[in-house]
Structure 1
Amino acid sequence: MNIFSKKLVFFYYFSLFISLGFKSDIGGISESQYWSSLEFLPFVEFLKERSSLFFLLSIFLGLFFVVLKNNYFSIIRNNLFFVFLLLNFVFFIRIFFEDYDLSIKYFQSIFLYITMFVISSFFLINIGYDNFKREFFNSIFYFSLFYIVINFITLISGKGFVIDNPRFFGVTSHPNFLGVNLVICNIVIYNYILLNNRKKIFAIIVLMAGFFLQILTGSRTSFIILVVSFLGIIFILKDIKLKVLLISILTLFSGIILLMLDGEQFDRGSGGGNTRKEAWANMIQLIGDNPIIGVGSVVGNSENSYLRYAVLVGLPLAIILISWMIFFIYKLYFLSKRNGDIFRFFFSLVFALFAGGMLEGYLSDLWSFPKGIFVLIIILSFVSNKRQIDPERVV
């Protein structure tokens, strides 16, 4: 495989992560009663205002690769992804009869997921398993470095804060969003450190900066995600020495987190608004009123992905979706035990995002950084199977 093909794969995913990580929400922030004082760096505004263009760029790079390698085109079968698409299509049909605008967004998201699947399949078949794995992981690693550095520059420039709110918003419209995005980047970087011998010192420095920024967001969920990801890695590892090292690091991080819980970033105050308990009670009430088919529309509470699905499309469909997620994690666990390396990273991240979804609504998003990563892992975990690749087609 030539260098040009490798870089196309790298920049496809990097552009996709830019689109996911810098969602366009500046208009909504300027109109917000609470966040209108939030300011971004000009470079960040540039990225957010053009996030859709970065997605189009990623599609262009993918299609360019298809044209470049037009001698062979095929789609690898991925039953788990097909079930995921089918569920989303059923959700679209349910929502269509209640909230037309939201149903259109669901349909658009299905198209985006299909596009990601088709292009990723083509990459894998044409460049080979090992090359693909390396370029994908490099792209998400360098994006994670980029994302943390940009947020750190935002911090030292005095941007990314709202008046009378000590929590750090960074490049997002809410500190909880930033906390989840940062913890994904931190998980990527510490997995890179475990898997590679290069750039370790720089990666560790950026990881410490990412952990510090995560503290400033005051997002408790992000730390639960971090701890669960560590537990996932420890559970899979066979190397006893590495297990002991990770347990020591986890103990140290947990101690730091516990000490920081008294900080002002974690203090919601007496006027902190709707708590998770209240939000869950509201959603459970809505589920009780519409248990079979749901309300067919977004209700505003986002403190639990699974309750949010149940409110949206009803308990039966929500239970099917959750069962599918559990089966996906189960399959990914055995895949990571058998193959290690990048699948170990996939398992630790998906396992952690699944746990965090009980406290945040990001898995019920249509297009966000955590949801996009989740969908990509569905695609890549079971597309990335050497037996499905014709070795004579690898270039």
Structure 2
Amino acid sequence: MRGSQQPGYGTDFDFGSAEYGQRWPEIYRELRERCPVARSERHGGFWVVSSEAAVTAVAGDDATYSSDHDPTGERGGFRGVGVPFSSGTRSIPQEVDPPEFFRYRRLLSPRFSHTASEAWRPWLTGLAAALIDERIESGRIDLVGDLGFPLPACFVVAWLGLPAEDWRELTHPFHTLVSSTPGSPEHTEAGRLLEEVLDLLRDVVADRRRAPRADLISYLTAEEAGLTDEEAVSVCQLLFFGGADSTTALLGRALDWLARHPDERRRVAGDPALLDSATDEFLRYFSPIHFNARTVTRDTELNGCPLRAGDRVLISWAAANHDPAAVDSPELLRIDRAAARHLAFGAGIHRCLGAHFARLMFQTMLGAVLERLPDYEVIGAEAVDYPSVGQVNGFASLPATFTKGERRGPGLAAALRSVPEVPVAGSGR
């Protein structure tokens, strides 16, 4: 029905609504058929872009669609990658435009490479085993609360060079800001606790400048990195926000789907060659991070819709991943889909830096569950979605039962005490 598209079509699209959480694929299909660039007055007003072609066009044009976040108004007042707007802190390098962006990207890219991620594989494998050991004798586990969130949270803390055993306290505010309802007491308290963690990070950054170690914060504070203290803290904040909940969300959705498709679960468990294609298909189908936003820098036109300087544009990775113009039968999840094309990690120069680490952590956790808890059954009546899957498409809780087993290792405390010293170039080692 592309012939019936209406440029500038108005919609009551609200990614924070219960309806969106229940039927977002259908909502995006309706938008694509009516107008792949539509206007919503929700959340201060924005354009929602729902076709793969339009999404990649916006993501690839940084001159016209800015990612910059400018709380002071000194660089045009751009409002970052959130809707309705981002926080009072600039997220580096996610909310930085070229040419400044490339300075940060060159600094960070080597630390996020496939080789860099592989150095952590043995520890992550042991950590997954230790987390399952904590529940294996009980026959019951929260696949999110006991595994899906703790593992990436522990990794981010350890990678930065903070005490791994403090992972829960350090990551709680970041996780709660995503998993609780805005305006709730929990959400408000998380905002307060976030400021305490940021103050701690400032202290650690100052300490690493004086006495560097073999950790990521020391790398960020090395003289040759050229970052200010606040820039280093901003990078750390982004890692906390991006490093945990997105991978957590992907694991929860994948394990829930596999529980409801036991034949496919047996296929993945029995054929390691399927793991990569299944990972890409889960990323495409569920799209843990549904969207990012841009600010229009100049009057322009997109798909026949006139956009004005200062307009906000929501580019939906989730919608693009379900566009039949780009994906054959996108409504079907095929774990063996050949060369699955997806934008779950974004597109353009701001494509997710942490993609290698995300894949590694997801596959490590998925493999551990399929091996150690092969007959797990999700307790659907007790599962809890995030309050807005438009922000992060995951579960806040995903309880499951399984046949009891035996512990294999010394436990979680021992794993957290055995964080490897992975040298980071430029960190003083």
Per the normalisation by structure 1, the TM-score is 0.23
Per residue, is there more strand in 1 or in 2?
2
Per residue, is there more helix in 1 or in 2?
1
